[in-house]
Structure 1
Amino acid sequence: MVGCQKYDIQNLRGSKMKLSILPTILLLVLPYGYCIKSLNVRQITGSAENTDLPFWDQDRQVLYAVNLNKPTIYQWDYKTGNVTSIELAQKSIGAVVSVEGSSNKLVVLADRDVLKVEWDGKKNNTGKIQNMKKNGNFEEKDEPAEAKVGPGGKLWLGTYQLEEGPGYNFAKGKGSLYALTFQGGDTVTIEKKLSNLTFPTGIAFSPDDEHFYLVDYPSNTIQKFVFDKENYKLGKSEKLFDLADHRQARGKVSNIVVGTHGSLSLSLYNGSSILDIDSNTGKVKSFITLPIHLPTGLEWGGPKNDTLYVGSSTNSLPKKYLELNAFSSGAIYAIENMGVTGFSSRRLKIN
């Protein structure tokens, strides 16, 4: 990644925006990294309230994402640029992953349901949605936050709970980490792996599957666990990264993805930026300042896995801010010409 940039900003129709109306994108607040001459930051979808959890399917050459505020799945076709969607009946949605070996099957976590969705993405609100049978269950008030497929085809899911009363506050210590095993057919086994979390928004595995990374959003840290990939167990953990050690930075550590260049990329919600850190030492290597205030989920993708897709949110942003800015908060962006590659998310295996 980069420590200073020149931007080529494009909107949904591909026309270039003038840098003079986007001065904030040149305010680089962290003195790390090195430079490349230009980055292409391209808006690829329209705006939704809270677009998050992008998932790249390499075989289908499509990107999936969700709207957390209105449980909807989006599909963006890389070749055509078409965007289609399917809305769910549930209240909350936490992840969407595609099924390996299939051209139209997805597994979706919504409320406390595990859904099998058959949808080819050609038309809006079509397809078949089926509740899978559960062996074991979640806590009564759990809501899905983030999920990634790990070794052995298990789906690792973070959940949160909300406090009672007005507002939208996460209940401290009520979040959990689960491992979901798909045994074939329509049955999934649910096993709790960690408790006493709050809002686990970032999950990732090292390329060799020997380490597991976890972001519990309010903590502003990344925990690094030793991972037993034969028995699917979490071992000793250490604090890999703490945003409090970087006074120049602002925002909250939100989502993480693994790069092939030995690093973790993390988004800073309310911080307009992405940091690139060393996955062994936790040191900041470089950063990108974004033309969006509230970046959310990250995903490596594109035909060569050299594009970083970034979700964004409009939550809590003043109406005047949204009207004045030339880019669209709530859209998904593609960051290209970075000169590095990453690992896109694993697809799920279901017999």
Structure 2
Amino acid sequence: MKAEIVWNTKAQLGEGPFWDEKKQVLHWVDIDGCKLNTYSPKENENKQLSFGQQVTAVVKRKKGGFVLAMRDGMYLFDADRLEKVASPEKEVSHHRFNDGKCDPAGRFWAGTMVTEGQEKDAALYRLNTDYSCQKVIGDVQISNGLAWDLSHELMYYIDTLTQQVVSYHYNLDSGEITNRDVVYTFEETDGFPDGMTIDQEGMLWVAMYNGWQVIQLNPFTKEKIAAVQVDAKCVTSCAFGGEDYQTLYITSASSGDEKDKHGGALFAVKTKSKGIKPDEFAG
């Protein structure tokens, strides 16, 4: 499979695609460009909102508006009103927030990454629907992809520099995770695992930074199934969308590599697999 460009922009660090089923548009962010994007396949246009700091992830809120992960915390955003609701690392200057998603119960999970130094002291946090915020996983360097399966019994997670996708048993009622297991370890030639999504069969689709591809994994047999070739070196994340959830949207980042002509563009590919409607924040 090969992805095609659907919006030929030069995002500095495209990330966080989220399909809006009601409006049939794709929300995605340009982290270093400090922008929230909304791409409409029907209109073939991409609208942008600029912020005063990095915006690293976006999900819809059931009550209206969005929840954003930004450099220094988690925010509610609606009609130009921005309200910070959690800042668990406000004293840590060498971190910023990174990827984030909602779980099936409507909690928002987002992690941080180390921006200076080699410490592994970042973390994954869970914003509950009452706006309490809890640290769930520590000793992280670059918190990245998240996914939950249709059974609501498994959560998948990526800390990029480990080169691994890991799984946890997931408790829908409490949000607690247990029994960590390594699902797959990537080779250096694959690239670095970044953002991730899941299809209705429980297969994982992992964007590979520096890898020019999205890799499809079977987490049950722990093997690679297939790959989507992307004409961008730094592939950052992916999400299913479209009316039938069979279009895989893929974000990328600008790399500066002379061979990388389309880094930062938004890509898509039609798949035989069908994705899952993304969960929204229930607080």
- Does TM, normalized by the shorter one, top 0.5? yes
Supply the distance in 1 between the matched residues of 2:134 and 2:218 (Cα, whole angstroms). 31
Whichever of the two has the greater Rg, that structure is 1
Q: CA deviation at 1:172?
A: 3.0
Q: Does 1:199 align with 2:162?
A: no
Residue number in structure 2 paired with 1:22? none
Secondary structure of the equivalent of 2:190? coil
* From 195, 203, 223, the counterpart of 1:255: 195
Secondary structure of the equivalent of 2:161? helix
Q: Does 1:291 align with 2:231?
A: yes
Q: Does 1:155 align with 2:117?
A: no
Supply the distance in 2 between the matched residues of 1:59 and 1:277 (Cα, whole angstroms). 29
* From 47, 52, 57, the counterpart of 2:20: 57
* From 80, 83, 87, the counterpart of 1:128: 80
Residue number in structure 1 paired with 2:49? 86
Give the structure with the higher percent strand. 2
* Structure 1 pair 250–77 and aligned structure 2 pair: CA distance change class (3 A): same
Do 1:44 and 1:334's aligned partners in 2 also have CA atoms closer than 8 Å? no
Q: CA deviation at 1:268?
A: 1.3
Q: Does 1:189 align with 2:132?
A: yes
Supply the distance in 2 between the matched residues of 1:133 and 1:73 (Cα, whole angstroms). 19
Residue number in structure 1 paired with 2:177? 234
Moved more, 305-314 or 138-147: 138-147
* From 47, 69, 72, the counterpart of 2:10: 47
* Structure 1 pair 133–264 and aligned structure 2 pair: CA distance change class (3 A): closer
Do 1:269 and 1:295's aligned partners in 2 also have CA atoms closer than 8 Å? yes
Do 1:299 and 1:344's aligned partners in 2 also have CA atoms closer than 8 Å? no
RMSD: 1.9
Supply the distance in 1 between the matched residues of 2:69 and 2:202 (Cα, whole angstroms). 30
- Trace 1:1-351 onto structure 2 (pairs within 5 A): 5=1, 41-90=4-53, 92-100=54-62, 102=64, 105-118=65-78, 127-134=79-86, 137-138=88-89, 140-141=91-92, 142-163=95-116, 171-183=118-130, 188-244=131-187, 249-315=189-255, 317-318=256-257, 320-322=258-260, 325=261, 328-336=262-270, 338-350=271-283
Q: CA deviation at 1:158?
A: 1.1
Give the structure with the higher percent helix. 1
Deviations 1:115-167, CA, capped at 9 Å, x for gaps: 2222xxxxxxxx41222344x73352241111110132111111113225xxx
Task: Using the aligned pairs only, state the percent identity.
Answer: 18
Do 2:184 and 2:219's aligned partners in 1 also have CA atoms closer than 8 Å? no
Q: CA deviation at 1:44?
A: 2.6
Supply the distance in 2 between the matched residues of 1:45 and 1:289 (Cα, whole angstroms). 17
* Structure 1 pair 43–53 and aligned structure 2 pair: CA distance change class (3 A): same
Give the counterpart letter for 2:119 in structure 1.
Answer: K
Supply the distance in 1 between the matched residues of 2:104 and 2:200 (Cα, whole angstroms). 18
Give the counterpart letter for 1:334 in structure 2.
Answer: A
Q: CA deviation at 1:101?
A: 5.2
Supply the distance in 2 between the matched residues of 1:197 and 1:346 (Cα, whole angstroms). 24
Give the counterpart letter for 2:253 in structure 1.
Answer: S
Q: CA deviation at 1:50?
A: 1.4
Aligned residues: 281
Unaligned runs of 5+ in 1: 8-39, 119-126, 165-170
Unaligned runs of 5+ in 2: none
